[in-house]
C-alpha cells in the first residue's frame, strides 16, 4: 500500500508539478472560459435555459477529463518503457499491480485538479438556476469513474502495445466514439443503433444522467442503471489494465 502511495506521489509531482501539468490546467481553464463566454455571450446560445447550459458545461468537462486521462494513460507504461525507466521500476519489489494503482492515483489527482478548476465555470453558468448542487455532485459521481476508466483503458493499451503513439491513437479513437453522443443530433440517438449504443456506452450513461438530473430534475433512483454502466466500465477497464500490466513481467 505504501509503495502505491509513493508511486502516486511521484507521478502526481511529475504530472501536476511540471510545466506539462500546468499547461494542461491552463488549457482546460482557457477552453472552459471560451465555452462559458460563448454560452452567455452568443445571441443563440444565451437563449438556452440555465439547466441546458449547465448540462453542456458538464459534458465538456467530462470530455476534457477523458482526454486528459487518455493522454496521460497512454504514456504511463509505454512512455516509461521508451525512456528506459520502466525496467528499474519493475526490478523493485513493487508488483505490477502496485505500479498500475500508483499511476492511477496520479490520474485521479489530475482529474480532481481539473474538476476543481472547472467548478467556478459551472458556478458561472449555473448559479442562477436550481440544479447547480446536483450538477457538482453528479459530475463527481459519474465523471470520476468514467474518466478513471478511460485512464485504465489507455494504461492497459500502453502496456500491451508498448508504444505511446499507437496506444494514444487507439485510446483517442475509443474516446471520440464514446463521446460522440455529445455531437450526435437527438434523432440519431433515438434510432435503433443509437439506442443500442447508448445502452452500453458509459459516456452516454453519464450524459443521460446529467440530462436527467440537471434538466429534468429526476431523482437518484432513476440513475442507478446508468451508474451501473459507468461502474461496469470502470471495473472492466481496471481488470484490463491489471491483466495488461502483468504481461510486463514473467512473460
Partner 1 sequence: MLVEVRDLKLSIGPVPILQGVRLGMDAGDIYGLLGPNGAGKSTTLSVLTGLRRAGSGAVNVLGLDPATQAQALRRRIGVLSEDSGFYGWMKARDYLRFMSSLYGLDLPAQQIEAQLERVGLPGASAHPVGAFSRGMKQRLGLARALLHKPELLILDEPTNGLDPRGRREIHDLLIDLSQHHGVGILLCTHLLDDVDRLCNRIGIIADGRSVVEGSLADLLATRTGAGRYRLRLRGDPPLPAALPEGVTLIASEGEWMHVALPANADPGQVWAALLAAGWDLVEIHNESGGLEDFYLDLTHKELTS
Contact 104, 155 (CB under 8 A): yes
Residues 6+ apart with CB under 8 A from 67: 172, 175
Looking up cell 468514467 gives 146
Our CB check for partner 1 shows the closer of 16 and 215 to be: 16
Residues 6+ apart with CB under 8 A from 196: none
Q: Count residues near partner 1 (CB under 8 A).
A: 24
Contact call for residue 185 and partner 1 (CB under 8 A): no
Which DSSP helix (H) or strand (E) runs through 53?
Answer: helix 50-76
Residue 137 cell numbers, joined:
455532485
Contact call for residue 191 and partner 1 (CB under 8 A): no
| Contacting range for partner 1; rule: CB under 8 A; set: 3-11, 152-160, 179-187, 196-204 | 3-11
Say how far apart CA 61 and CA 122 lie, in whole Å.
9
Residue 26 cell numbers, joined:
491552463
Contact 74, 152 (CB under 8 A): no
Q: Which of 29, 48, 90, 176 binds partner 1 (CB under 8 A)?
A: 90
Q: Which of 1, 43, 93, 221 binds partner 1 (CB under 8 A)?
A: 93
Nearest approach, Cβ of 158 to partner 1 (angstroms)?
16
Helix, strand counts (H, E) of the chain: 12, 0
Q: Which of 1, 91, 183, 224 binds partner 1 (CB under 8 A)?
A: 91
Nearest approach, Cβ of 6 to partner 1 (angstroms)?
5
Contact call for residue 128 and partner 1 (CB under 8 A): no
3-state DSSP assignment of residue 77: coil
Contact call for residue 1 and partner 1 (CB under 8 A): no
Q: Which of 25, 37, 94, 117 binds partner 1 (CB under 8 A)?
A: 94
Q: Which of 16, 31, 52, 95 binds partner 1 (CB under 8 A)?
A: 95
CA angle 64, 67, 68 (to 5 degrees): 90
Contact 129, 181 (CB under 8 A): no
Contact call for residue 83 and partner 1 (CB under 8 A): yes
Residue ranges in 7-66 that form contacts with partner 1 under rule CB under 8 A: 7, 10, 14, 18
List residues near partner 1 by CB under 8 A: 2-3, 6-7, 10, 14, 18, 80, 83-95, 249-251
Amino acid at each position: 500500500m505504501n509503495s502505491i502511495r509513493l508511486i502516486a506521489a511521484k507521478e502526481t509531482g511529475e504530472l501536476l508539478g511540471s510545466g506539462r501539468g500546468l499547461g494542461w490546467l491552463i488549457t482546460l481553464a482557457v477552453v472552459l472560459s471560451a465555452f462559458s463566454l460563448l454560452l452567455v455571450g452568443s445571441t443563440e446560445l444565451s437563449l438556452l435555459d440555465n439547466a441546458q447550459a449547465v448540462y453542456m458545461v458538464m459534458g465538456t468537462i467530462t470530455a476534457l477529463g477523458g482526454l486528459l486521462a487518455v493522454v496521460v494513460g497512454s504514456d504511463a507504461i509505454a512512455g516509461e518503457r521508451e525512456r528506459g525507466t520502466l525496467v528499474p521500476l519493475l526490478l523493485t519489489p513493487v508488483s505490477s499491480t502496485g505500479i498500475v494503482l500508483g499511476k492511477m492515483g496520479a490520474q485521479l489527482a489530475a482529474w480532481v485538479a481539473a474538476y476543481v478548476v472547472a467548478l467556478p465555470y459551472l458556478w458561472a453558468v449555473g448559479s442562477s438556476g436550481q440544479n447547480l448542487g446536483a450538477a457538482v455532485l453528479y459530475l463527481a459521481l459519474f465523471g470520476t469513474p468514467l474518466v478513471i476508466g478511460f485512464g485504465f483503458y489507455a494504461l492497459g493499451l500502453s502496456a500491451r502495445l508498448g508504444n505511446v503513439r499507437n496506444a494514444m491513437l487507439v485510446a483517442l479513437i475509443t474516446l471520440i466514439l464514446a463521446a460522440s453522443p455529445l455531437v450526435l443530433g437527438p434523432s440519431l440517438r433515438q434510432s435503433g443503433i443509437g439506442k443500442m449504443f447508448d445502452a452500453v456506452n458509459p459516456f452516454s450513461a453519464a450524459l443521460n444522467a446529467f440530462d436527467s438530473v440537471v434538466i429534468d430534475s429526476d431523482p437518484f433512483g432513476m440513475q442507478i442503471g446508468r451508474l451501473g454502466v459507468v461502474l461496469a466500465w470502470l471495473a472492466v477497464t481496471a481488470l484490463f489494465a491489471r491483466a495488461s500490466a502483468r504481461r510486463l513481467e514473467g512473460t
